[in-house]
Amino acid sequence: MKKIVETGKGNLNARWPLLFALLMILSFGIHVGMRLWAQESTMEWTRLAYGALAAVIMLLLASFSLRKMVFTRRIGTMEGWRKSHLYLGLFCVALVFMHTNFTVYGNFGILMVLLLLLVILSGLMGELMFRTIPVWLSKQGTDAVELDEKRKQPGEYLTMADEIVEKASEEFKNFYGVRIRRQFASRPIPMKYMWLTEKDIIARRKRQFSLWASRGPSTDRLALSHLENLYAERDKMEFKYARLQVLRMWNNAHVPATAALLTALLAHLWSISYY
């Protein structure tokens, strides 16, 4: 039964491009038909319908943030919400331009178009970003913002490394002080983790410690293994932190732009009803 449900979700996600194409063809076909054969009053009602539908979709898209905050509840998968957010957002853009007859009216219209373009571009950047960010970040939701508070300082890793080496031989202590200790004392650069996968990081660490194992004392392999595990823990923390920083930069662009666009939309609706 579970396999059938998962297959159904996968089929729905796979059909979003087809559904988007059908919605675009249908809406654009109606728009062209109205422009060619309908009366002016009918065309005006069609434009208003497109605008109202676009406004409703914008509000639905804004609810994507609520899905992140209630991620522990089963309200669809994150993948499904992300797909629907992407394709409905693109469809909403088309509706907006059909609502305006592909014409920008006045300074306020230019402002709304610029905000819309900013939301689109930042949204597409977010789609690319989510293809490189680990699944854990999407699943943890708001808990992920606490990662930097839990992030260990290099000094703490250095202290733990020194404690591990304290019980080793003098020869290994000397080798550790010359070759290994400075790796734990240095501050990692988060951006370097952006261009690597977790597998790349693990492979690099194993190569480094294999080299140290071949050059260091053979009697303290257990201490070296503990150091490798500690270094792996720091790498994983920095790897997650780098992805979190990118997510924050994206939020700082996409979320305020969306809020500004919704505010402009409300002002637009108020001006129409008032005048």
pLDDT digits 0-9 by tens, 145-155: 555 555 656 57
Question: Is residue 108, in this structure, part of any structural domain at all?
Answer: no
**Residues 171 and 225 reside in one and the same domain:** yes
Would residue 117 count as lying in a domain? no
For residues 26 and 83, membership in a common domain is answered with yes
Specify the pLDDT at position 225: 93
Is pTM beyond 0.95? Reply is: no
Residue 255 lies in a domain: no
Task: Let me know: does 247 contact 211? Beta carbons within 8 Å.
Answer: no
pLDDT, residue 177, reads: 92
3-state secondary structure of 168: coil
- The reply to whether 253 falls in a domain is no
Asked if 99 and 7 sit in the same domain, the reply is: yes
Q: What is the mean pLDDT of residues 247-256?
A: 78
Considering only residues 97 and 251, tell me which one the structure prediction assigns the higher pLDDT. Answer: 97
Min mean pLDDT across 22-36, 180-194, 250-264 is at 180-194
Residue 254 in any domain: the answer is no
Q: Is 187 inside a domain boundary?
A: yes
Does 140 reside within a domain? no
What is the rounded CA–CA span in Å between residue 22 and residue 46?
A: 18
* DSSP designation for 232: H
pLDDT per residue as tens digits for the range 44-80: 888 889 989 998 998 888 777 665 555 445 566 667 7
Claim to verify: residue 165 and residue 229 sit in the same structural domain: yes
Asked if 78 and 161 sit in the same domain, the reply is no
Number of domains within the chain: 2
- Within 13 Å of residue 116, how many CA atoms lie on the same side as its CB? 21
Say whether both 88 and 33 belong to one domain. yes
Residue (of 18, 27, 34, 29) closest to 57 by Cα position:
27
- Assess whether 98 and 191 both reside in one domain: no
Tell me the average pLDDT across 15-20.
86
Q: Check whether residue 169 and residue 228 sit in a common domain.
A: yes
- The pLDDT tens digits for 187-220 are 777 666 667 777 888 888 899 999 999 888 888 8
Whether 112 is covered by a domain: the verdict is: no
Task: Tell me which residue has tokens 């490798």.
Answer: 228
Is 168 found in the same domain as 237?
yes
Residue 216 lies in domain: 147-245
Please check whether residue 161 is in contact with residue 232, taking contact to mean a CB–CB distance below 8 angstroms. Answer: no
Residues 151 and 91 in one domain: no
Whether residues 94 and 183 fall in one domain: no
Closest Cα partner for 96 from 250, 257, 262, 252?
A: 262
The number of residues making up the chain comes to: 275
